[in-house]
Each structure stands twice: as C-alpha cells, then as structure tokens.
C-alpha cells in the first residue's frame, strides 16, 4: 500500500479558545511597551486569554502540547484536515514501504532558533518523545524506530504494523523541536525552538505569555504580528471581555452567558469532545462492578444536557458523539453487565475542575443523582493544573472531565488505548481489563477505514460494559469572536487556535 500526498500550503485552521477578565482590560501590550490597541489594522497583535494555564511548564509531551499547537507555536510532521485525514505539515509527502515502515519527505523549513529542520533533528525529536515519561498518549502501546534517510528523508519503522502512523504523527505531543530544546535536563523547552508561525518570547509567572511572529515560517509570514496571551479560568469573565471588546477571541463561553452575547460575536460548532464520569476501578467503592453499575443507572444524561448545557450538547451515547459522524450507525450494544448493587450510603469523593465552566454544574447534578440513588457524595472542585496528578493517581473515587475523543491522534482507537487500557497514559478510571485490552489491541491492528471503525466500536462496547466510564454529554464549541477578527475556524479536534491567517 502506498500513500503519497502532494505538498500544499493551505491556511492554518484554528479554534477560538481564548479569554480575558475585565480586570485585565488594557493590560495587553506589545513588546517594548507599545499598546496593542492600534485600530485593528493588518499586522495587529492579537489579545488572547486562555482558559487553561500551562500545567507542565509547557512540556510538549503532556496536556500543554495542545496549548502550544493552539497558539501556533509547534508543528508535527503531519496535521489533520477537515475530514480527519493526515495532511502535510513539516513532511510534504510520505509513502508506506511495507507493513511496518514508512518514509517521509521533509519540506524545507527552519526552526525558530535559526537552524534548519534536518532529518537528523527530526529523528532525534521523535526518538526523545518515545522515551518520555509518561509516554505521550499518541504513542501508547506503540514502538517507533526513527532514522534519517538522505538529505530530506525520514524512515520510521514500527514494532507492529501501524496503518494510521501518518495520523498518529499529527498529534500535538509529537511536535518537532530543534536540538537546542533538549540541551538542559528535564522538560524540553519549546521557547524559541519550534517551527510554527508564532514564537514564544516571554513567559511570566503571573500567568501570561508573549509571542511574536516567526517571519521565517515555511508557510509565509503570519498576518498578525504577535499574540499577547493570558490564562484566565473564569468563564463569566471571558464572556464579559467579549461584550466589552477587551478580548479578540474567547474560548469556552459558559452556556449561561451565551444568550448575553451579541449574535454577531457568538460562534458555535460541533466538537468531538465528550463530558464523562470516570469511576476509579482500582481502589475504593467503585472497584466493585456492581456499585459502578449502580452509579451508571443513577445518571440521567438528558437532564444534564437540558439543565446544564441548555441544548448546546447531546446526551451521552458513548465515547464518540455525533460529531464523529460514522459512530452512531456502527455502535455495538454492551452485554454482560452485572446487576446493580444497593449503594446503602456508600461514601464517595467526586472531583472535577472549573476551567470549563459547565463542569462544576454537571458535577452538582451528578452528585444529586447519585445521592438520590443512595450514595453519599463529597464534591471537590479545583483548577485543572492542581487536579490532574491526583486524578491520574486514583485519589478520587469518581472524576468528571471533558475529553476530545480524536485529539491525540485523530484515530478513533487512540483515545481507547490511552484512556482505558492497562498501560494507558491518561487512564483516569485506572481500568485494567483483559477483554478491553484485547479488543483495543485488535482494533489497533486493523487496517482499512471502515474495518477499523467497526473494531473501534466493538472495543467501545467492551469499555462501556465495564461501567468504568459513563458518557454524560457530547459538547458543542461556544466561542466569542470579535467582529474585527477574520479567519477564525472552529476546529472540532480542538488542536488549533491561532494560525497564519488569524488577523484583526
């Protein structure tokens, strides 16, 4: 099988995902102290506020990888197009030489430190990603051997056949950085070492970052001269900033605030993000599958969609929602679930984060539903950066989070491997089930688009059958965008934010 893609230069897609509290109005400034409020002429700096602050010191291997790609800082060998297929990025073409080997041809590009993007630099960057701890979600269960091949070639060999390798390499966590990024021990730095149209020039401990346009980007100069970014978790403040014109683009507008925005500034679109209840299967009460069944039976997702999302979502049907257009017709019914036990006052701790404004409200509704069923529920809400490590360590009995099912690789099997297998790097349910692992492994080894989708849905059925996860709602993107801004695209994969075509 051979896949060859011709080099193209298409506009960068990006997701509106930014915000600023009113108290920060006027705090955006261009480098050197010049005001960024310049009447909106071409070349203006973009005032940006993000809901999620860096959780891992801008590590390219964890949650911050998506933050970097949204800001137009990092790029991988490939990207995802509007149909979810692999498209050229730093690699302009590729072909499959055999079941386990692919050859990629690099385009002529430059790192932000002025050095050339060479096959050896790319091979080193990908090899380091394979050795990261924990391993990036896109590489869960995957072994890569990467070698430079000639002046522009990269040859990648996998331990087992990997039919979706080009899609896998589009993951933000597999971004290519220059050798300079790895000179110091610890987390590699993307500051001045990436390849995207914007370069991080300053990071402030107070929760902000300054980015300037990278004029030598292979795709041409970006239309904005830079980005002044702030990290603000308060959703109501983000909506207020859109209303007052203090922010150019605002992500995650709270549902309750959507009606208060002028229709000209309110944008909405489907997304592959699902809000789910994850139950700790390793320790605590939900180690008992019968109590997990009781929790699943207690949840009414329709009430959550109506009462919390006010129609800006669909009831939870599975790990994949309506934005994954093929999923519903291929969904397999789960079988073999145990009968639900009586909770009889069983005490549990339910945790969520407040960076996404609807999640605490969802958690309160779920808390009420579980308590009505007989559980005693303690609710804990924190900022995501202060919650993630405890959640992954299993310190809560239940966790409510929002997860984009196609974020890590664009491949439907990717989220199953990372979130629900014994070796998964983002396994919040701490699930380790041999039948699930077997089904995911089978799906991961399946070639052909339709066949792989069928296998993914069979694996989804196995996962849902454990009641380790209870899908609650399939969300829509609600963003606030200034009428002065042009080029905004709401990306259902939530990988992009600001690109070369973003301007005001």
Domains of the chain: 22-251 (3.40.190.10), 273-475 (3.10.105.10)
Gap between the Cα atoms of 479 and 268, Å rounded = 6
Count, residues in the chain: 504
Question: Is 7 a residue whose pLDDT tops 80?
Answer: no
pLDDT of 414 > 80? The answer is yes
Instruction: Tell me how far apart the alpha carbons of residues 457 and 329 are, in angstroms, rounded to a whole number.
Output: 10
What Rg, from alpha-carbon coordinates, does the chain have? Answer: 22
d(CA 96, CA 403): 31
**Mean pLDDT of the 332-350 span:** 95
Q: 335: which 2 tokens? A: 């079988």
Write the CB contacts of 259 (distance below 8 Å, at least 6 apart in sequence): none
pLDDT of residue 29: 34
Torsion from C-alpha of 368, 372, 375, 376, nearest 10 degrees:
60
What is the per-residue pLDDT for 397? 98
Report the pLDDT averaged over residues 126-148. Answer: 91
Average pLDDT score over the chain: 88
b/e for 177-192, b at 16 or more Cβ within 10 A?
Answer: bbbbbbeeeebbbbbb
- CB contact set of 449 (below 8 Å; sequence gap of 6+): none
Strands 144-149 and 101-106: unpaired
With both helix axes pointing from N to C terminus, report the angle between 358-373 and 289-298 in degrees, rounded to the nearest 10.
110
- Percentage of residues in the chain with pLDDT exceeding 70? 91
Which residue would you say has higher pLDDT here, 302 or 445? 302
Is pLDDT at 107 greater than 50 in this prediction? yes
pTM of this structure = 0.73
Angle at 130 between CA 125 and CA 134, to 5 degrees: 120
Mean pLDDT of 290-301: 98
**pLDDT recorded at residue 42:** 53
pLDDT at 57 over 60: yes
Residue 246 in this model has a pLDDT that exceeds 60? yes
User: CA–CA separation, 55 vs 402, rounded Å?
Assistant: 16
Residue 31 pLDDT > 50: no
CA distance 504 to 180: 33
Predicted confidence at residue 109, as pLDDT, reads 98
Q: pLDDT category, 221, cuts 50, 70, 90?
A: very high
Dihedral sign for Cα atoms in the order 63, 68, 74, 75: positive
Handedness of CA 235, 237, 243, 248 (dihedral sign): negative
User: Picking from 142-151, 154-163, 492-501, which range would have the lowest pLDDT averaged per residue?
Assistant: 492-501
Residue 134 is predicted with a pLDDT of: 83
CA-based angle 208:214:216, to the nearest 5?
170
């Amino acid at each position: 099988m051979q896949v060859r893609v011709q080099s193209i230069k298409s506009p960068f897609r990006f997701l509106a995902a930014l915000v600023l509290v009113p108290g920060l109005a006027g705090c955006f400034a261009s480098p050197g102290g010049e005001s960024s409020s310049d009447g909106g002429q071409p070349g203006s700096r973009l005032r940006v506020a993000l809901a999620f602050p860096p959780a891992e010191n801008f590590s390219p291997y964890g949650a911050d990888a998506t933050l970097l790609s949204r800001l137009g800082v990092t790029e991988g060998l490939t990207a995802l197009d509007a149909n979810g297929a692999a498209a050229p990025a730093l690699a302009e073409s590729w072909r499959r030489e055999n079941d386990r080997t692919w050859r990629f041809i690099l385009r002529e590009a430059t790192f932000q430190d002025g050095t050339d993007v060479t096959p050896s630099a790319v091979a080193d960057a990908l090899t380091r990603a394979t050795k990261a701890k924990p391993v990036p979600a896109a590489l869960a269960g995957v072994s890569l051997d990467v070698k430079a091949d000639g002046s522009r070639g990269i040859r990648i060999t996998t331990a087992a056949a990997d039919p979706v390798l080009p899609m896998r390499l589009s993951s933000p966590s597999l971004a290519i950085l220059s050798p300079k990024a790895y000179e110091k021990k610890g987390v590699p730095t993307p500051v001045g070492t990436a390849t995207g149209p914007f370069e991080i020039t300053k990071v402030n401990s107070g929760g902000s970052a300054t980015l300037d346009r990278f004029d030598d980007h292979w795709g041409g100069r970006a239309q904005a001269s830079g980005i002044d970014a702030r990290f603000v978790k308060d959703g109501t403040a983000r909506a207020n900033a859109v209303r007052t014109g203090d922010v150019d683009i605002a992500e995650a507008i709270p549902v309750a605030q959507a009606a208060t925005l002028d229709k000209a500034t309110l944008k909405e679109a489907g997304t592959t993000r699902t809000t789910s209840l994850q139950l700790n299967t390793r320790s605590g009460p939900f180690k008992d599958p019968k109590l997990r069944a009781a929790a699943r039976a207690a949840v009414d997702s329709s009430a959550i969609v109506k009462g919390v999302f006010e129609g800006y979502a669909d009831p939870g049907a599975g790990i994949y929602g309506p934005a994954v257009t093929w999923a519903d017709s291929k969904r397999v019914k789960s079988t073999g679930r145990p009968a639900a036990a009586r909770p009889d006052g069983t005490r549990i701790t339910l945790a969520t984060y407040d960076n996404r404004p609807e999640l605490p409200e969802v958690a309160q509704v779920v808390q009420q539903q579980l308590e009505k069923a007989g559980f005693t529920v303690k609710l804990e809400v924190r900022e995501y950066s202060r919650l993630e490590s405890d959640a992954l360590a299993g310190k809560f009995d239940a966790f409510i989070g929002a997860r984009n099912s196609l974020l890590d690789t664009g491949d439907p099997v990717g989220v199953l491997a990372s979130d629900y297998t014994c070796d998964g790097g983002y396994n919040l349910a701490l699930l380790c089930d041999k039948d699930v692992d077997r089904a995911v492994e089978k799906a991961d080894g399946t070639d052909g688009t339709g066949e792989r989708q069928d296998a993914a849905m069979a694996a989804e059925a196995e996962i849902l059958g454990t009641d380790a996860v209870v899908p609650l709602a399939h969300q829509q993107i609600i963003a606030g965008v200034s009428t002065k801004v042009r080029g905004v695209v709401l990306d259902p994969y939530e990988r992009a934010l600001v690109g070369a075509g973003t301007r005001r």
